[in-house]
Amino acid sequence: MVGYACNENDARVPQEFYLARDLCQYIYDRHPYDGKTQITLNESGQIDTIVASFQDINSGALKELVLDWYACHARALPWRARSAPYAIWVAEIMQQQTRVETVIPYYRRWMERFPRLEALASADQQEVLQLWEGLGYYGRARNLHKAARVVMERFGGRLPQSRQELES
């Protein structure tokens, strides 16, 4: 059976806990396994660890189960609707040490003001920092701005596609 190291009535329990729990239950319902799943939270109420024993499931079957679950339960997030590497890069930087729910409005405003790498690279740093205001960790905004300028200068506005390009 699937077990959890959390009281479901605990107000500190984040949505991510329930998603992780539901995924483990989804897998168990379709492929019962011997072992147990344990999800623990840290002092802030965020997921600390997920330990699941899936020794009876081959990796291909587990991959399919996870992808099936994701197709049914994935949250609608603005960056998932975009395939442009720049848009995804911005989302990844914004989400570092920041909750997804916090990032969403900042991401939307950012992409409205800087829809393409060229717009970010040509912006004044003060404008970049002003748009980032309230998101915290301002070094991320400064580094993103600086990197956008480097990409424009060294790669003609195209994000590097290979490890070699990234390391150059």
Out of 64, 92, 101, 118, pick the active-site residue.
Answer: 92
Report yes or no: 106 and 95 within 8 Å, Cβ to Cβ: no
| Most distant pair of Cα atoms in the chain: their distance | 58
Is residue 8 flagged as an active site residue?
Answer: no
Any residues with CB less than 8 A from the CB of 4 and at least 6 apart, and which? 21, 37, 38, 39
> DSSP 3-state assignment of 42?
coil
| Cα radius of gyration rounded to whole Å, the chain | 20
Residue numbers annotated as active site = 92
